[in-house]
Amino acid sequence: MHAVTVQYHEALLYKFFRPLLFWLDAETSHRLSFALLRSVYRLPGIRQLLRSCFARRAPAIPVNVMGINFSNPVGLAAGLDKNAEHIKPLLDFGFGFLELGTVTPRPQSGNPLPRMFRLVTNAALINRMGFNNVGVEKFIANLVPQEGYGPIGINIGKNRDTSLEQASDDYLRALRAVYIHADYISVNISSPNTSGLRDLQEEKNLSELLQRLKTEQTILAQKYRRYVPIALKIAPDLDDTQIGAIARLLLEYKFDAVIATNTTITRPGLHDETLSAQTGGLSGRPLKSLSTEIIRKLYTQLQGHIPIIGVGGVENADDAWEKLVAGADLIQIYTSLIYQGPANVYKIVRGLVQRLQASGCSNLKEAIAQARK
Ligand SMILES: Cc1cc2nc3c(=O)[nH]c(=O)nc-3n(C[C@H](O)[C@H](O)[C@H](O)COP(=O)(O)O)c2cc1C
Provide φ and ψ at 310, rounded to 5°: -95, 130
Cα(130) to ligand 1 centroid in Å equals 11
| CB burial string 135-170: b at 16+ within 10 A, e below | bbeebbebbeeeeeebbbbbbbbbbbebeeeebbeb
Q: What is the pLDDT of residue 167?
A: 96
Question: Which has more confidence, 370 or 7?
Answer: 370
CA atoms within 13 A on the CB side of 363: 10
Using CA of residue 298, residue 302, residue 303, residue 304, what is the dihedral sign? negative
Mean pLDDT, the chain, whole residue set: 94
Query: Cα(67)–Cα(184) distance, rounded to whole angstroms?
Result: 10
pLDDT band at 5 (very low <50, low <70, confident <90, very high): very low
Residues 120-138 have a mean pLDDT of: 96
Q: Could you report the per-residue pLDDT of 269-278, keeping only the tens digit for each?
A: 897 778 999 9
4-13, 179-188, 209-218: the lowest-pLDDT one: 4-13
* % of the chain at pLDDT higher than 90: 84
Q: What is the pLDDT of residue 12?
A: 61
Q: What is the pLDDT of residue 13?
A: 64
What's this model's pTM, rounded to 2 decimal places? 0.96
Atom of ligand 1 nearest to the CA of 233: 11
Question: Which has more confidence, 70 or 25?
Answer: 70
Q: Decide: 263 in ligand 1 pocket, CB within 6 A.
A: yes
Residue 78 has pLDDT above 50, yes or no: yes
Could you tell me if 163 and 316 are in contact, meaning their C-beta atoms sit under 8 angstroms apart? Answer: no
Q: Decide: 122 in ligand 1 pocket, CB within 6 A.
A: no
Q: What is the pLDDT of residue 314?
A: 98
What residue's CA is closest to ligand 1, atom 7?
Answer: 79
Which mutation among 189, 237, 262, 344 tests ligand 1's pocket best, with the greatest number of atoms within 8 A of CB? Answer: 262
The residues that are catalytic are 191
Q: Decide: 133 in ligand 1 pocket, CB within 6 A.
A: no
